[in-house]
Structure 1
Amino acid sequence: MLRLLRNKKTAKKIWIGLAIMVLPAFVFWGFGSASRGKNESGYIGKISGKKISDLEFKDSLSAVRNMAIMQYGEKLPEIEKYLDLEAQTWQRLALLYEAKKYKIKASDQEVVELIESYPFFKHNGAFDNRIYNDLLKYAFRTQARIFEEQTRQNIIISKLYHKITEGVTIDDHEIREGYIKIKSANDPKFKIDEKKFSSERKEFELRILEEKKQAYFSKFVEGLIKKNKK
Protein backbone atom coordinates (compact mmCIF):
# COMPACT_ATOMS: atom_id res chain seq x y z
CA MET A 1 0.00 0.00 0.00
CA LEU A 2 2.91 2.34 0.56
CA ARG A 3 3.59 2.11 -3.17
CA LEU A 4 0.32 3.93 -3.77
CA LEU A 5 1.75 6.92 -1.93
CA ARG A 6 4.88 6.81 -4.09
CA ASN A 7 2.99 6.83 -7.39
CA LYS A 8 4.44 9.84 -9.26
CA LYS A 9 1.11 11.30 -10.35
CA THR A 10 -0.37 10.73 -6.91
CA ALA A 11 2.67 12.18 -5.14
CA LYS A 12 2.55 15.31 -7.30
CA LYS A 13 -1.09 15.91 -6.44
CA ILE A 14 -0.44 15.27 -2.76
CA TRP A 15 2.39 17.74 -2.48
CA ILE A 16 0.67 20.49 -4.41
CA GLY A 17 -2.02 20.35 -1.73
CA LEU A 18 0.17 19.56 1.27
CA ALA A 19 3.30 21.60 0.58
CA ILE A 20 2.41 24.45 2.90
CA MET A 21 1.41 22.35 5.87
CA VAL A 22 4.32 19.97 5.43
CA LEU A 23 6.75 22.86 5.31
CA PRO A 24 6.71 23.76 8.99
CA ALA A 25 7.13 20.15 10.01
CA PHE A 26 9.92 19.19 7.62
CA VAL A 27 11.99 22.17 6.53
CA PHE A 28 13.35 23.33 9.87
CA TRP A 29 15.32 21.55 12.57
CA GLY A 30 16.81 22.35 15.94
CA PHE A 31 14.22 21.84 18.65
CA GLY A 32 15.37 18.33 19.43
CA SER A 33 18.29 19.40 21.57
CA ALA A 34 16.51 22.34 23.15
CA SER A 35 14.45 20.52 25.73
CA ARG A 36 14.98 16.80 25.13
CA GLY A 37 15.46 14.28 27.89
CA LYS A 38 12.92 12.64 30.15
CA ASN A 39 13.37 13.51 33.80
CA GLU A 40 12.22 12.32 37.19
CA SER A 41 9.23 14.69 37.20
CA GLY A 42 7.47 12.60 34.55
CA TYR A 43 7.76 14.96 31.58
CA ILE A 44 10.04 14.76 28.59
CA GLY A 45 10.81 18.45 28.08
CA LYS A 46 9.39 21.97 27.98
CA ILE A 47 8.16 24.43 25.38
CA SER A 48 7.93 28.03 26.58
CA GLY A 49 7.77 26.71 30.11
CA LYS A 50 4.96 24.25 29.34
CA LYS A 51 5.77 20.69 30.36
CA ILE A 52 5.49 18.12 27.57
CA SER A 53 4.52 14.63 28.69
CA ASP A 54 5.91 11.47 27.16
CA LEU A 55 2.46 10.68 25.71
CA GLU A 56 2.12 14.13 24.13
CA PHE A 57 5.55 13.77 22.56
CA LYS A 58 4.74 10.30 21.20
CA ASP A 59 1.46 11.56 19.71
CA SER A 60 3.30 14.37 17.94
CA LEU A 61 6.02 11.99 16.75
CA SER A 62 3.32 9.77 15.26
CA ALA A 63 1.93 12.75 13.35
CA VAL A 64 5.37 13.69 12.03
CA ARG A 65 6.01 10.11 10.95
CA ASN A 66 2.68 9.95 9.13
CA MET A 67 3.65 13.08 7.22
CA ALA A 68 6.90 11.34 6.29
CA ILE A 69 4.95 8.30 5.09
CA MET A 70 2.87 10.54 2.83
CA GLN A 71 6.03 12.06 1.40
CA TYR A 72 8.32 9.05 1.08
CA GLY A 73 6.02 6.01 1.11
CA GLU A 74 7.88 2.71 0.91
CA LYS A 75 11.22 4.56 0.73
CA LEU A 76 10.84 5.85 4.30
CA PRO A 77 12.70 2.98 6.05
CA GLU A 78 15.74 3.70 3.87
CA ILE A 79 15.96 7.40 4.68
CA GLU A 80 14.28 7.71 8.07
CA LYS A 81 17.63 7.86 9.88
CA TYR A 82 18.46 11.05 7.97
CA LEU A 83 15.22 12.89 8.80
CA ASP A 84 15.65 13.55 12.55
CA LEU A 85 11.97 12.97 13.26
CA GLU A 86 12.44 13.80 16.94
CA ALA A 87 13.65 17.32 16.14
CA GLN A 88 10.69 17.75 13.79
CA THR A 89 8.41 16.55 16.59
CA TRP A 90 9.59 19.35 18.87
CA GLN A 91 9.07 21.82 16.05
CA ARG A 92 5.53 20.60 15.55
CA LEU A 93 4.74 20.91 19.25
CA ALA A 94 6.21 24.42 19.36
CA LEU A 95 4.26 25.54 16.29
CA LEU A 96 1.00 24.18 17.68
CA TYR A 97 1.71 25.91 20.99
CA GLU A 98 2.33 29.16 19.09
CA ALA A 99 -0.89 28.70 17.10
CA LYS A 100 -2.84 28.63 20.37
CA LYS A 101 -1.60 32.14 21.11
CA TYR A 102 -3.20 33.28 17.85
CA LYS A 103 -6.35 31.28 18.71
CA ILE A 104 -6.08 29.41 15.41
CA LYS A 105 -8.52 26.54 15.03
CA ALA A 106 -9.69 24.07 12.38
CA SER A 107 -13.30 22.97 12.03
CA ASP A 108 -14.53 19.41 11.62
CA GLN A 109 -15.66 20.32 8.11
CA GLU A 110 -12.16 21.48 7.17
CA VAL A 111 -10.74 18.19 8.46
CA VAL A 112 -13.26 16.15 6.45
CA GLU A 113 -12.68 18.16 3.28
CA LEU A 114 -8.90 17.82 3.48
CA ILE A 115 -8.96 14.08 4.13
CA GLU A 116 -11.45 13.51 1.33
CA SER A 117 -9.24 15.54 -1.03
CA TYR A 118 -6.22 13.23 -0.63
CA PRO A 119 -5.81 11.28 -3.90
CA PHE A 120 -4.55 8.16 -2.13
CA PHE A 121 -7.91 7.78 -0.34
CA LYS A 122 -9.85 7.90 -3.62
CA HIS A 123 -11.15 5.34 -6.10
CA ASN A 124 -12.38 6.48 -9.51
CA GLY A 125 -12.10 10.08 -8.37
CA ALA A 126 -14.23 9.70 -5.25
CA PHE A 127 -13.32 9.23 -1.59
CA ASP A 128 -13.41 5.53 -0.71
CA ASN A 129 -13.99 4.69 2.95
CA ARG A 130 -12.60 1.16 2.53
CA ILE A 131 -9.33 2.45 1.09
CA TYR A 132 -9.20 5.05 3.85
CA ASN A 133 -9.54 2.47 6.61
CA ASP A 134 -7.14 0.02 4.94
CA LEU A 135 -4.42 2.64 4.50
CA LEU A 136 -4.81 3.85 8.06
CA LYS A 137 -4.54 0.27 9.31
CA TYR A 138 -1.74 -1.10 7.14
CA ALA A 139 0.26 1.93 5.95
CA PHE A 140 -0.13 4.55 8.68
CA ARG A 141 -1.00 2.11 11.47
CA THR A 142 -3.08 4.83 13.04
CA GLN A 143 -6.66 4.89 14.29
CA ALA A 144 -9.05 7.08 12.31
CA ARG A 145 -9.78 9.33 15.29
CA ILE A 146 -6.06 9.98 15.82
CA PHE A 147 -5.35 10.55 12.12
CA GLU A 148 -8.21 13.02 11.93
CA GLU A 149 -6.85 14.94 14.92
CA GLN A 150 -3.41 14.99 13.31
CA THR A 151 -5.03 16.37 10.17
CA ARG A 152 -6.69 19.08 12.25
CA GLN A 153 -3.28 20.02 13.64
CA ASN A 154 -1.81 20.08 10.12
CA ILE A 155 -4.48 22.56 9.08
CA ILE A 156 -3.75 24.69 12.15
CA ILE A 157 -0.02 24.73 11.32
CA SER A 158 -0.85 25.67 7.74
CA LYS A 159 -3.01 28.55 8.97
CA LEU A 160 -0.21 29.69 11.27
CA TYR A 161 2.16 29.70 8.30
CA HIS A 162 -0.25 31.88 6.32
CA LYS A 163 -0.81 34.14 9.32
CA ILE A 164 2.90 34.73 9.86
CA THR A 165 3.71 35.22 6.16
CA GLU A 166 0.61 37.09 4.96
CA GLY A 167 2.45 40.42 4.88
CA VAL A 168 5.42 39.16 2.85
CA THR A 169 5.67 40.74 -0.61
CA ILE A 170 8.21 41.01 -3.42
CA ASP A 171 9.08 43.88 -5.73
CA ASP A 172 10.05 43.95 -9.42
CA HIS A 173 13.77 43.78 -8.62
CA GLU A 174 13.32 40.66 -6.48
CA ILE A 175 11.26 38.98 -9.20
CA ARG A 176 13.86 39.72 -11.84
CA GLU A 177 16.81 38.63 -9.68
CA GLY A 178 14.96 35.52 -8.56
CA TYR A 179 14.14 34.63 -12.16
CA ILE A 180 17.78 34.97 -13.19
CA LYS A 181 18.92 32.91 -10.19
CA ILE A 182 16.52 30.06 -10.95
CA LYS A 183 17.35 29.99 -14.64
CA SER A 184 21.10 30.24 -14.02
CA ALA A 185 20.97 27.24 -11.68
CA ASN A 186 20.04 25.07 -14.68
CA ASP A 187 22.10 26.97 -17.23
CA PRO A 188 25.31 28.72 -16.04
CA LYS A 189 25.47 30.59 -19.36
CA PHE A 190 21.91 31.86 -19.08
CA LYS A 191 21.21 35.37 -20.37
CA ILE A 192 17.85 36.95 -19.79
CA ASP A 193 15.50 37.33 -22.75
CA GLU A 194 13.16 40.20 -21.92
CA LYS A 195 10.32 38.88 -24.08
CA LYS A 196 10.50 35.41 -22.54
CA PHE A 197 10.87 36.90 -19.06
CA SER A 198 7.64 38.86 -19.55
CA SER A 199 5.75 35.75 -20.63
CA GLU A 200 7.09 33.63 -17.75
CA ARG A 201 7.05 36.34 -15.09
CA LYS A 202 3.76 35.40 -13.43
CA GLU A 203 4.71 31.74 -13.06
CA PHE A 204 8.07 32.56 -11.50
CA GLU A 205 6.67 35.40 -9.39
CA LEU A 206 4.56 32.94 -7.38
CA ARG A 207 7.54 30.63 -6.89
CA ILE A 208 9.87 33.45 -5.82
CA LEU A 209 7.26 34.85 -3.43
CA GLU A 210 6.77 31.43 -1.85
CA GLU A 211 10.52 31.02 -1.39
CA LYS A 212 10.66 34.39 0.37
CA LYS A 213 7.76 33.37 2.61
CA GLN A 214 9.54 30.15 3.49
CA ALA A 215 12.70 32.06 4.38
CA TYR A 216 10.67 34.48 6.49
CA PHE A 217 8.92 31.63 8.28
CA SER A 218 12.28 29.95 8.83
CA LYS A 219 13.43 33.01 10.77
CA PHE A 220 10.19 32.89 12.74
CA VAL A 221 10.90 29.27 13.70
CA GLU A 222 14.49 30.15 14.61
CA GLY A 223 13.05 32.75 16.95
CA LEU A 224 10.92 30.07 18.60
CA ILE A 225 14.00 27.91 19.03
CA LYS A 226 15.96 30.71 20.70
CA LYS A 227 13.02 31.52 22.95
CA ASN A 228 12.76 27.90 24.05
CA LYS A 229 16.47 27.68 24.81
CA LYS A 230 16.28 30.49 27.36
Structure 2
Amino acid sequence: MSFQDKVVVVIGASSGIGAAAAIKFAEEGAKVALVGRNQEKLNNVAKKCGNPLIIAADITKDEDAKRIIEETVRHFAKIDILINNAGTGSRTNIQDKSYIQIFDRIMNTNLRAMVVLTHLAAPHLVKTKGNIVNISSVAAYRVIIPESSAYCASKAGLDHFTRTVALELAPHGVRVNVINPGPVRTDIIENTTGVSKEEATASFDSMKTLTALSRVSEPEEVADLILFTASDKSKAIITGSSIVTDNGMLLK
Protein backbone atom coordinates (compact mmCIF):
# COMPACT_ATOMS: atom_id res chain seq x y z
CA MET A 1 0.00 0.00 0.00
CA SER A 2 1.40 3.36 -1.00
CA PHE A 3 0.46 6.63 0.65
CA GLN A 4 2.97 8.66 -1.33
CA ASP A 5 2.29 12.38 -0.83
CA LYS A 6 -0.84 11.71 1.23
CA VAL A 7 -1.22 13.91 4.30
CA VAL A 8 -2.29 11.93 7.36
CA VAL A 9 -3.28 13.43 10.72
CA VAL A 10 -2.86 10.89 13.52
CA ILE A 11 -4.56 11.82 16.78
CA GLY A 12 -3.06 10.09 19.81
CA ALA A 13 0.23 9.47 18.02
CA SER A 14 2.50 9.56 21.06
CA SER A 15 2.17 5.84 21.87
CA GLY A 16 0.32 2.60 21.25
CA ILE A 17 -1.89 2.19 18.19
CA GLY A 18 -1.48 5.81 17.10
CA ALA A 19 2.30 5.67 17.18
CA ALA A 20 2.37 2.36 15.31
CA ALA A 21 0.00 3.71 12.64
CA ALA A 22 1.97 6.94 12.22
CA ILE A 23 5.21 5.04 11.71
CA LYS A 24 3.64 2.70 9.15
CA PHE A 25 2.05 5.59 7.24
CA ALA A 26 5.43 7.32 7.08
CA GLU A 27 7.09 4.12 5.85
CA GLU A 28 4.54 4.05 3.02
CA GLY A 29 5.43 7.59 1.92
CA ALA A 30 2.82 9.65 3.78
CA LYS A 31 3.37 13.10 5.21
CA VAL A 32 2.34 12.69 8.81
CA ALA A 33 1.08 15.12 11.44
CA LEU A 34 1.67 13.63 14.91
CA VAL A 35 -0.80 14.85 17.55
CA GLY A 36 -0.64 14.15 21.27
CA ARG A 37 -0.26 15.74 24.68
CA ASN A 38 3.17 14.38 25.60
CA GLN A 39 5.87 16.30 23.71
CA GLU A 40 8.67 13.93 24.69
CA LYS A 41 6.79 10.85 23.48
CA LEU A 42 5.84 12.62 20.25
CA ASN A 43 9.50 13.47 19.65
CA ASN A 44 10.44 9.81 20.09
CA VAL A 45 7.83 8.68 17.58
CA ALA A 46 8.87 11.44 15.17
CA LYS A 47 12.35 9.91 14.92
CA LYS A 48 10.76 6.97 13.10
CA CYS A 49 8.53 9.05 10.82
CA GLY A 50 10.97 10.90 8.59
CA ASN A 51 10.12 14.60 8.78
CA PRO A 52 6.67 14.80 10.40
CA LEU A 53 4.77 17.76 11.75
CA ILE A 54 4.59 17.54 15.55
CA ILE A 55 1.59 19.13 17.26
CA ALA A 56 1.39 18.99 21.05
CA ALA A 57 -2.26 19.57 21.88
CA ASP A 58 -5.16 18.70 24.17
CA ILE A 59 -7.93 17.62 21.82
CA THR A 60 -10.61 18.22 24.45
CA LYS A 61 -9.97 21.95 24.04
CA ASP A 62 -11.73 23.35 20.97
CA GLU A 63 -8.99 25.92 20.36
CA ASP A 64 -6.40 23.11 20.26
CA ALA A 65 -8.53 21.05 17.88
CA LYS A 66 -8.80 24.04 15.57
CA ARG A 67 -5.05 24.59 15.80
CA ILE A 68 -4.37 20.96 14.82
CA ILE A 69 -6.28 21.29 11.57
CA GLU A 70 -5.02 24.78 10.76
CA GLU A 71 -1.35 23.94 11.39
CA THR A 72 -1.58 20.77 9.30
CA VAL A 73 -3.12 22.59 6.33
CA ARG A 74 -0.67 25.48 6.67
CA HIS A 75 2.29 23.08 6.75
CA PHE A 76 1.17 20.48 4.16
CA ALA A 77 -1.49 22.45 2.21
CA LYS A 78 -4.12 19.70 2.55
CA ILE A 79 -5.46 16.77 4.58
CA ASP A 80 -6.14 13.37 3.00
CA ILE A 81 -6.69 11.11 6.01
CA LEU A 82 -7.76 11.70 9.63
CA ILE A 83 -7.07 8.99 12.21
CA ASN A 84 -9.14 9.68 15.34
CA ASN A 85 -7.35 7.48 17.82
CA ALA A 86 -7.18 9.20 21.23
CA GLY A 87 -9.03 7.56 24.10
CA THR A 88 -9.27 7.27 27.86
CA GLY A 89 -11.19 5.25 30.41
CA SER A 90 -11.87 4.81 34.10
CA ARG A 91 -13.95 2.48 36.23
CA THR A 92 -16.79 4.12 38.10
CA ASN A 93 -20.15 3.04 39.49
CA ILE A 94 -23.30 4.91 38.49
CA GLN A 95 -23.89 5.60 42.20
CA ASP A 96 -20.46 7.16 42.81
CA LYS A 97 -20.53 10.85 43.70
CA SER A 98 -17.86 11.54 41.08
CA TYR A 99 -19.64 9.62 38.32
CA ILE A 100 -20.81 12.59 36.25
CA GLN A 101 -17.40 14.25 36.42
CA ILE A 102 -15.72 11.07 35.18
CA PHE A 103 -18.43 10.50 32.58
CA ASP A 104 -17.91 13.99 31.16
CA ARG A 105 -14.13 13.55 31.01
CA ILE A 106 -14.39 10.25 29.13
CA MET A 107 -17.07 11.49 26.74
CA ASN A 108 -15.13 14.69 26.03
CA THR A 109 -12.04 12.71 25.01
CA ASN A 110 -13.53 9.62 23.38
CA LEU A 111 -16.49 11.15 21.58
CA ARG A 112 -16.83 14.95 21.64
CA ALA A 113 -13.22 15.60 20.61
CA MET A 114 -13.60 13.16 17.70
CA VAL A 115 -16.76 14.99 16.61
CA VAL A 116 -15.04 18.38 16.77
CA LEU A 117 -12.00 17.19 14.81
CA THR A 118 -14.21 15.55 12.18
CA HIS A 119 -16.26 18.74 11.86
CA LEU A 120 -13.13 20.84 11.36
CA ALA A 121 -11.39 18.41 9.00
CA ALA A 122 -14.42 17.56 6.83
CA PRO A 123 -14.15 20.53 4.40
CA HIS A 124 -10.51 19.66 3.72
CA LEU A 125 -11.31 15.98 3.24
CA VAL A 126 -14.07 16.84 0.79
CA LYS A 127 -11.50 18.70 -1.30
CA THR A 128 -9.16 15.70 -1.42
CA LYS A 129 -11.89 12.99 -1.41
CA GLY A 130 -10.09 11.64 1.62
CA ASN A 131 -11.25 9.44 4.47
CA ILE A 132 -11.52 9.09 8.24
CA VAL A 133 -10.70 6.09 10.40
CA ASN A 134 -12.00 6.23 13.97
CA ILE A 135 -10.62 3.91 16.63
CA SER A 136 -13.32 2.53 18.92
CA SER A 137 -13.46 -0.70 20.93
CA VAL A 138 -15.32 -3.98 21.25
CA ALA A 139 -16.75 -2.30 24.35
CA ALA A 140 -19.13 -0.60 21.92
CA TYR A 141 -20.73 -4.03 21.42
CA ARG A 142 -20.48 -5.66 24.82
CA VAL A 143 -19.73 -4.76 28.44
CA ILE A 144 -16.30 -6.38 28.90
CA ILE A 145 -15.25 -4.70 32.14
CA PRO A 146 -17.57 -3.97 35.10
CA GLU A 147 -18.25 -0.33 36.02
CA SER A 148 -17.37 0.89 32.52
CA SER A 149 -20.65 2.48 31.43
CA ALA A 150 -19.05 5.81 30.49
CA TYR A 151 -16.37 4.14 28.36
CA CYS A 152 -18.84 1.78 26.69
CA ALA A 153 -21.26 4.61 25.96
CA SER A 154 -18.51 6.76 24.45
CA LYS A 155 -17.39 3.99 22.11
CA ALA A 156 -20.94 3.04 21.09
CA GLY A 157 -21.57 6.71 20.38
CA LEU A 158 -18.41 6.93 18.26
CA ASP A 159 -19.53 3.91 16.23
CA HIS A 160 -22.93 5.38 15.42
CA PHE A 161 -21.45 8.82 14.78
CA THR A 162 -19.18 7.12 12.24
CA ARG A 163 -22.12 5.60 10.41
CA THR A 164 -24.12 8.82 10.23
CA VAL A 165 -21.16 10.91 9.06
CA ALA A 166 -20.25 8.23 6.51
CA LEU A 167 -23.70 8.63 4.99
CA GLU A 168 -23.44 12.44 5.01
CA LEU A 169 -20.02 12.54 3.36
CA ALA A 170 -20.47 9.69 0.89
CA PRO A 171 -21.89 11.98 -1.86
CA HIS A 172 -18.62 13.94 -1.62
CA GLY A 173 -16.48 10.83 -2.11
CA VAL A 174 -15.30 10.78 1.52
CA ARG A 175 -15.24 7.45 3.35
CA VAL A 176 -15.63 7.14 7.15
CA ASN A 177 -15.03 3.90 9.03
CA VAL A 178 -14.43 2.72 12.58
CA ILE A 179 -12.15 -0.04 13.88
CA ASN A 180 -13.08 -1.90 17.06
CA PRO A 181 -10.07 -3.55 18.72
CA GLY A 182 -10.17 -5.96 21.60
CA PRO A 183 -7.23 -5.98 24.04
CA VAL A 184 -4.09 -4.38 22.59
CA ARG A 185 -0.75 -4.09 24.39
CA THR A 186 -0.47 -0.32 24.86
CA ASP A 187 0.20 1.97 27.82
CA ILE A 188 -3.50 2.71 28.39
CA ILE A 189 -3.69 0.66 31.60
CA GLU A 190 -0.67 2.42 33.06
CA ASN A 191 -1.99 5.82 32.01
CA THR A 192 -5.54 5.38 33.30
CA THR A 193 -4.93 3.39 36.48
CA GLY A 194 -1.43 4.36 37.57
CA VAL A 195 -0.25 0.75 37.93
CA SER A 196 3.31 -0.29 37.16
CA LYS A 197 4.41 -1.58 33.76
CA GLU A 198 4.78 -5.06 35.26
CA GLU A 199 1.25 -5.00 36.63
CA ALA A 200 -0.09 -3.79 33.28
CA THR A 201 1.74 -6.62 31.50
CA ALA A 202 0.21 -9.15 33.89
CA SER A 203 -3.22 -7.65 33.26
CA PHE A 204 -2.83 -7.99 29.49
CA ASP A 205 -1.61 -11.57 29.90
CA SER A 206 -4.74 -12.40 31.89
CA MET A 207 -6.90 -11.00 29.07
CA LYS A 208 -5.74 -13.81 26.78
CA THR A 209 -8.31 -16.07 28.44
CA LEU A 210 -11.06 -13.70 27.29
CA THR A 211 -10.30 -14.28 23.60
CA ALA A 212 -11.04 -17.28 21.40
CA LEU A 213 -7.48 -17.25 20.02
CA SER A 214 -5.91 -16.89 23.49
CA ARG A 215 -3.85 -13.87 22.49
CA VAL A 216 -3.69 -10.10 22.83
CA SER A 217 -2.96 -7.91 19.80
CA GLU A 218 0.10 -5.74 19.30
CA PRO A 219 -0.36 -2.10 18.19
CA GLU A 220 1.28 -2.86 14.83
CA GLU A 221 -1.43 -5.40 14.01
CA VAL A 222 -4.17 -2.83 14.46
CA ALA A 223 -2.07 -0.31 12.53
CA ASP A 224 -1.97 -2.69 9.55
CA LEU A 225 -5.77 -2.73 9.53
CA ILE A 226 -5.91 1.06 9.81
CA LEU A 227 -3.67 1.43 6.77
CA PHE A 228 -5.75 -1.03 4.73
CA THR A 229 -8.98 0.74 5.68
CA ALA A 230 -7.51 4.14 4.77
CA SER A 231 -5.97 2.90 1.51
CA ASP A 232 -7.30 2.78 -2.03
CA LYS A 233 -7.51 -1.00 -1.66
CA SER A 234 -10.71 -0.55 0.35
CA LYS A 235 -12.18 2.50 -1.36
CA ALA A 236 -14.73 0.59 -3.42
CA ILE A 237 -16.18 -1.50 -0.62
CA ILE A 238 -15.75 0.03 2.82
CA THR A 239 -17.55 3.04 4.28
CA GLY A 240 -19.71 3.30 7.37
CA SER A 241 -18.29 -0.03 8.54
CA SER A 242 -17.37 -1.16 12.06
CA ILE A 243 -14.41 -3.49 11.67
CA VAL A 244 -13.74 -5.75 14.64
CA THR A 245 -10.20 -6.95 15.40
CA ASP A 246 -10.41 -8.73 18.75
CA ASN A 247 -8.87 -12.21 18.47
CA GLY A 248 -12.37 -13.60 18.89
CA MET A 249 -13.19 -11.83 22.16
CA LEU A 250 -16.80 -11.19 21.17
CA LEU A 251 -17.21 -14.92 20.49
CA LYS A 252 -16.60 -15.69 24.16
Q: TM-score, normalised by structure 1?
A: 0.24
Structure with more of its chain in helix, by fraction:
1
Question: Counting strand residues as a fraction of each chain, which structure ranks higher?
Answer: 2
**Whose RCO is larger (CA < 8 A, sep 6+)?**
1
Larger radius of gyration: 1
